[in-house]
Amino acid sequence: MRKRIAALALALAMVLSLAACGGDNSSKQPGGDKKDDGQGSDKVYRIAMVTDSSITDGSWGTVTYNAMVDAATERGWQYECADAIAQSAYYDTFASYCDQGFDIVYAPGNQYTDAILEVAKEYPDVVFAQLNGSMGTPEKAENGNVMVMFPDSHEIGWTAGILAGLMTQTNTVAFIGAIELDTTQGKYAGFKESAEYVGKQEGKSVTVLDPVYSGDFNASDKGIEFAKALMDQGADVFFGDAGAVDSGARQAIDEHNTAAGKVEVYDIAQPADLLGQNECIICSQVTDNSSLVSMCMESVENGTFEGGAVYGTMGNGVLSAGKISDLVPKEIQDKYNAYLEQVKAGTFMK
Amino acid sequence: MDMTFVTNLLLASVHMATPLIFLALAELYSQRAGLVHIGIEGLAAIGSLTGFLVSYISGSPMTGMFLGALMGILVNMIYAYATITLCAEQTVYGMIINIFALALASFIYRVYFGAGASLAQVNLMSTLSSALGITSDNFFVELLLDQTLMVYLAYGLVLFTAVYFNKTKSGLNYKAVGEYPKAAATLGINVIGVKYVASIICGALAGMGGAYLTTCYSTTYVDGNVAGRGFIALAAVIFGRWSAGGVLLACLFFGFCDALQIRLQISGSSMPYQFFQMIPYIATVAVLTLIGAKKAGPKGAGKPYRKEER
Amino acid sequence: MKHSGKLISVLVPLVSVMMAFVIGCAIIAILGASPVTALQALWTGAFGTARNISTTLSRATPLIFTSLCACFAYRCGVFNLGGEGQFMMGSIICCYIATRTGLTGLPAILLCLLAGAVFGGLWAMIPGILKVFRGQNEMIISIMLNYVASLFMSVIYTNWLRDGTVPQTAAVPDETRLTRIFGRATTGFLIALVVGALIYYFLFNTSMGFQLRAVGLNMTTAEYNGFAVKKYILLSFIVSGAIAGLGGSAELLGTQYRLISGFASGYGFDGVAMALIGQLHPLATMAVAIFFAALRVGSTAMQTATGVPTSVSDIIQALVIVFTVAGLAMVKLPSFKTALARLHMKKEAA
């Protein structure tokens, strides 16, 4: 009997909520379209970001998101972001922002290239700003509405490798990537070259372990296990290009250092100054992505946008080295800065 | 292939196995009461998020673990009510719990951390050796002492479960509910009651297994961090043939496969690592094929229990 | 009495949708946004323009296939929770044929669709055989096989059929892609409609369909009546897998063009849920799939308009499923039926 009453009560509740909802539904009909962007001179420009990383990953996702926010705040743009988007959903997400009339769709990474080219074909009026794209992408876009912003990944690798070569005690350094993107491979190549070169200048033979790839920017647990296994192989300076995976690696390094009672394994962060986020970070390779995004916004505002590529190097100030931790001895800091001057002047390894 | 490689592989296996043990025990307690539950993944996800949020706010991983378990129970009550009282199809409702709990976890995370794009990190539970102030590279010290409280709890629970189901009257009654609910009812066992208790235990363990990931393993949270462990736990229960000891061995074996698979990726082997990740699933299908339906778990599992009204 | 049974089967999903929306609106209001604006944006995002409608239909297409897959098997009394794996297996063979054999154009399309259906059917045969000959739980086995298929697909796009630096396969050549009928909706959507209509015809207008449903309603009675129960169960698995496999091909040739990480993720379980909400009626199931696709497509517009995260839409979808399945179980309870019968008697007496 109790059950019957319960069942009836539930049915009643369902019917009541139906009634309540019916009212709610009818009230929404007459509401007019209040949202109007307004045309003319005080048009509010809008930029949308699509990323497969999480914007709270404390690494690539966070930094590239902040770059957009900073640029948008500076120029008075509205911004939106869709993060942790699966690769299979890039196209849909881009297209849905285009449908909503965004002026710029911004995507930080080379992995978006194919989806961007597809969507750019269908939405000639929307500008696509891709950070870290490939050189050839803008030419492939039929409508000329794709711009790639190109921080020199090789140079980023160099500057990290110099410090790694100077700092390593075990003469073994490691690199963790997420996906074998051109830019990630560029960073690794530069890292390897300069770590070996600088090691030789210092009279030691530095081994750069083969890069490892997690296949996924959000797999922080893989970062933990990767770093542990690489430390087993003797690596004592890490550099990475893998979003939340980097954060996982730093956690494992910090744990190792705590267990050892001293900081003996280091990490070099990128692409913003992350010094202090983890104990093991000794320096960051900083890319001023926000100035790149801002350049793109400016050209859209002025109507001068014409696609193509913008480069960022140490030479033109888009790339720089972040603050150096006290863990790095004074004489090494001096050597490091001397090498950086060479990179800026274009004389490094020549 | 030196000693450090082997010992570190074993240590990693134990680390990988611990969350699986919690989740598999959750599944075991549920199935032993006749409730097949494929929603462990979802319960773990919400437990993981709760554990993370609470320890982020309160600074205490223990509180996070506790509330993670509580949240697991809460969400599992939806499953319990639908499958026990309303007699909904268990597997389907388990699947629904997955969809619902994963959406809920992702939603809460986004609402709480929404616009602030900075890395949220929490402190992990401290290990016994660090609490005792022991630092040593010795393999046995690392294996036995360099673990959090939750690891000891996991193994303690396995032992308790083995004794409970085989040696105690209450445990035998519990199993009877999963095997022959009607017969159990005639013996005066409160079948519905036992099933609800099972759901509470299951929810708590699954929530703890999820919270383990964010309070003992990783200092950060990412969506989808349970990464299929709920289903591997289901596989472990079948592979371990529904006994506590078997489940433990299955978890350790699957943990070993996982640890090996990670090292394989680093060594640059040409054998795709995904094949190692497949092992738990293929092993489960193989076991089910070999043992036949009669021995495949509690006989009453998966069937709704309707108390006759007249 | 029979009449009211039908009414209830329509009422339960409707009431569930209402309840889910009420809770969704409450959440939106708690987040400080206007539920009316949010629902409006959701509606416009999904159906506001022809283009948005086409997006919704394109997103619905794979869901229609997986939900029909679940629907067909369940009609025969077996649960196929492996739609996702069968969908993936279909797309894998389709990808191989479209990108590696050199075939293009219509012959390639036809071969791809056929091969996709065959592979999906073969993959579904495994749980079917184990169910029929070993009496095993087909749900657990098909779930396990989903993971195997998904990992196998990952091997395909990261190793065996990989193209370029990003882990993904080459794109299907332009000539082999499905034609777009309007906006983003392709002939894949039409194929889905045809499949749905065929299933409807088969189930309700052929004697085989009748027998299959009889097996689904009561296996023991069907066996007693001399129906080949085992044959029907195996058949239903194979056909159901073929539907999913065909869907995998259509999705690859019509929307995604390449295998990548995240392809088809979640489609299988979603399909089962939609089939249940559609009361296992093929036509209703298709409508439910479109409804869910609309919720997904509209949610980004909702996020832009109100700042409410898209995951609110996920919650609403999940709640619809939670309520419907619980509601359907409830109305099947003996106690509910007696209560209903009493209500009827009172009405008639009055």
Chains A and C form CB pairs within 8 A to the count of: 118
Q: Could you tell me which residues are beta bridge partners of residue C186?
A: C180
Distance separating the N- and C-terminal Cα atoms of chain A: 91
Q: What is the predicted pLDDT for the residue at B179?
A: 92
Both tokens of A161, joined, read 């490798």
pLDDT at A22 (0 to 100): 35
Banded pLDDT at C3 (limits 50, 70, 90): low
Higher-scoring residue by pLDDT: A95, B203: B203
Chain A residue numbers with beta carbons less than 8 Å from the beta carbon of C305 are 35
What do you get for the CA distance between the two ends of chain B, in Å? 69
The Cα B115–Cα C119 span in angstroms is 45
Higher pLDDT, B28 or A232: B28
Instruction: State mean pLDDT over B192-221.
Output: 95
Cis peptide bond prior to A271, omega within 30° of 0: yes
What does DSSP say about strands A281-287 and A308-312: parallel, antiparallel, or unpaired? unpaired
Is pLDDT at B209 greater than 90 in this prediction?
A: yes
User: What pLDDT is stored for residue A41 in this prediction?
Assistant: 52
pLDDT at B116: 59
In 3D space, the residue among C30, C20, C48 whose CA is nearest the CA of residue C297 turns out to be: C48
Q: Please give, rounded to a whole number of angstroms, the shortest distance from the CA of A94 to a CA of chain C.
A: 11
- Chain C residues with CB-CB distance to A14 below 8 A: 15, 19, 327
User: Pairing mode, if any, of strands C180-182 and A127-131?
Assistant: unpaired
Is the CB of A232 less than 8 angstroms away from the CB of B8? yes
Query: How far off is chain B from A65, nearest CA to CA, in Å?
Result: 7
Average pLDDT over residues B236-262: 92
Give yes or no for residue B258 having a pLDDT over 70.
yes
User: What band does C293 get if pLDDT is binned at 50, 70 and 90?
Assistant: very high
Residue the block writes with tokens 């517009």: C301
Percent of chain C past pLDDT 70, that is, above it, reads: 99
Shortest CB distance from A224 goes to which of B130, B218, B263?
B218
Model confidence band, residue B177 (pLDDT cutoffs 50, 70, 90): very high
Within 136-195 of A, beta carbons closer than 8 Å to C belong to 179-182, 185
Distance of CA C108 to the CA centre of its chain: 26
Question: CA-to-CA distance for C216 and C230, rounded, in angstroms?
Answer: 11
- The set of chains that have 3 or more CB pairs under 8 A with B is A, C
For chains B and C, what is the number of CB pairs under 8 angstroms?
A: 134
Q: Which position has the token pair 């096989």?
A: C145
Q: How far is the C-alpha of C333 from the C-alpha of B293, rounded, in Å?
A: 28
* Residue of higher predicted confidence among C52 and B50: B50
CB nearest to B220's CB, from A214, A220, A259? A220
Q: Is the pLDDT of residue C119 over 90?
A: yes
- Do the chains contact at C256 and A88, CB–CB below 8 Å? yes
Per-residue pLDDT of chain A (350 residues; tens, 9 = 90+): 444 444 444 444 443 343 333 333 333 333 333 334 444 456 889 999 999 888 888 788 888 999 999 999 999 999 988 888 888 888 888 988 998 889 999 999 888 998 999 899 989 999 999 998 777 888 888 888 999 888 889 999 999 999 999 999 999 999 999 888 888 999 999 999 999 999 999 999 999 999 988 878 888 888 999 999 899 889 999 999 988 899 999 999 999 998 888 999 999 998 888 888 899 999 999 988 888 899 899 989 988 888 888 888 888 888 999 999 999 999 999 999 999 999 988 888 87
Query: In chain B, what percentage of residues exceed pLDDT 70?
Result: 95
Residue of C245, C3, C210, C215 whose CA lies nearest to C120: C245
If one counts every other C-beta atom within 10 angstroms of the C-beta of residue C48, the result is 17
Interface test with A, best of C17, C40, C306 (most A CBs within 10 A): C40
Best to test chain C binding among B27, B92, B242, B273 (most C CBs inside 10 Å): B92
Closest Cα partner for C323 from C39, C5, C14, C71? C14
- Across the interface, of C52, C165, C335, the residue whose CB is closest to A180 is C165
Q: What is the pLDDT of residue B117?
A: 57
CA C181, distance to chain mean position in Å, is 22
- Which subunits count as partners of chain A given 3+ CB pairs below 8 Å? B, C
For chain C, the three-class secondary structure string (H helix, E strand, C coil) is CHHHHHHHHHHHHHHHHHHHHHHHHHHHHHCCCCHHHHHHHHHHHHHCCHHHHHHHHHHHHHHHHHHHHHHHHHHCCCCCCCHHHHHHHHHHHHHHHHHHCCCCHHHHHHHHHHHHHHHHHHHHHHHHHHHHHHCCCHHHHHHHHHHHHHHHHHHHHHHHCECCCCCEECCCCHHHCCCEEECCEEHHHHHHHHHHHHHHHHHHHCHHHHHHHHHHHCHHHHHHCCCCHHHHHHHHHHHHHHHHHHHHHHHHHHHHCCCECCCCCCHHHHHHHHHHHCCCCHHHHHHHHHHHHHHHHHHHHHHHHHCCCCHHHHHHHHHHHHHHHHHHHHHHCHHHHHHHHHHHHHHHHC
The predicted pLDDT at position B137 comes to 72
Residues of B with CB under 8 A from a CB of A: 4-5, 8, 12, 113, 116-121, 130, 135, 146, 213, 217-220, 222-225, 227, 259, 262-263, 265-266, 268, 309
Is the Cβ pair C166, A111 closer than 8 Å? yes
Tell me which chain A residues have a C-beta less than 8 angstroms from the C-beta of B148: none
At the topology level of CATH, where does B8-113+140-295 sit? ABC transporter involved in vitamin B12 uptake, BtuC (1.10.3470)
Measured between beta carbons, the chain B residues lying within 8 angstroms of C329 are 82, 86-89
Residues of A with CB under 8 A from a CB of B: 3, 54-59, 61-62, 65-66, 69, 84, 210, 212-214, 218-222, 224-226, 228-230, 232, 244, 247-248, 251, 258-261, 277
**Residue B277, class by beta-carbon neighbours within 10 Å (0-12 exposed, 13-18 middle, 19+ buried)?**
buried
Inter-chain contact A247–B220, Cβ cutoff 8 Å?
Answer: yes
The separation between CA B216 and the C-alpha centre of its own chain, rounded to angstroms, equals 14
- Please tell me which of the candidates C137, C158, C328 has its beta carbon nearest to residue B296: C137
Neighbours of C235 (CB within 10 A): 17
Q: Average pLDDT for residues B191-195, to the nearest whole number?
A: 95
Report A:58-117 residues touching C (Cβ under 8 A): 80, 82, 86-89, 91-93, 95-97, 99-100, 110-111, 113-114
**Which of C299, C284, C269, C319 lies closest to C16, judged by CA?**
C319
* From B119, B146, B217, residue closest to A57, measured CB to CB: B119
- Continuous segment of H or E residues that includes residue A268: strand A266-269
Is residue B308 pLDDT above 90, yes or no? no
Residues of C in contact with B41 (CB under 8 A): none
Asked whether residue C307 carries a pLDDT value surpassing 70, the answer given is: yes
Contact A95 C184 (CB under 8 A): yes
**8 Å CB contact between A105 and A90:** no
Q: What's the confidence (pLDDT) of residue B158?
A: 97
pLDDT at A26: 33
- Bridge-based pairing of strands A319-321 and A281-287 is antiparallel
Return the minimum-mean-pLDDT range out of A181-190, B225-234, C285-294, C296-305: C296-305
In chain A the domains, ranked by start, together with CATH numbers, are 46-152+289-312 (3.40.50.2300), 154-286+319-345 (3.40.50.2300)
Lowest mean pLDDT among A39-43, A327-331, B222-226, B278-282: A39-43
Parallel/antiparallel/unpaired status of strands A308-312 and A146-151: parallel
Question: Mutating which of C166, C259, C328 best tests the A interface, going by the most A Cβ atoms within 10 A?
Answer: C166
Regarding the domain delimited by C52-295, which CATH topology (the fold level of the hierarchy) does it fall under? Answer: ABC transporter involved in vitamin B12 uptake, BtuC (1.10.3470)
- Predicted structure pTM score: 0.89
pLDDT for A33 equals 36
For residue range C137-181, list pLDDT tens digits in order: 888 899 999 999 999 999 999 889 988 777 889 999 999 999 998
Query: What is the torsional sign of CA C325, C326, C327, C329?
Result: positive
Question: Does residue B295 surpass a pLDDT of 80?
Answer: no
C276 vs A216 pLDDT, higher one: C276
* Domain locations along chain B: 8-113+140-295
Which residues of chain A does C267 touch, with a Cβ-Cβ cutoff of 8 Å?
A: none
Nearest chain B Cα to A55, which residue? B117
What are the chain B neighbours of A232 within 8 Å (beta carbons)? 4-5, 8
Domain range annotation of chain C: 52-295, 309-345
Kindly state the average pLDDT of the residues C57-77.
95
B263: closest chain A residue by CA = A229
- Min distance A169 CA to chain B CA atoms (Å): 20
Tell me the average pLDDT of chain C: 91
Determine the Cα angle at C94 with ends C92 and C96, to 5°: 70
Residue B181 has pLDDT above 60, yes or no: yes
pLDDT band per the 50, 70, 90 thresholds, residue C254: very high
**Facing B274 at nearest CB: one of C141, C155, C328:** C155
Nearest by CB to B222, which of A220, A230, A277? Answer: A220
C81/chain B closest Cα distance in angstroms: 9
Region C213-227: mean pLDDT is 87
Q: Say what the pLDDT of residue B115 is.
A: 61
Residue B97 has pLDDT above 90, yes or no: yes
Of the candidates C165, C166, C297, the beta carbon closest to that of A96 is on C297
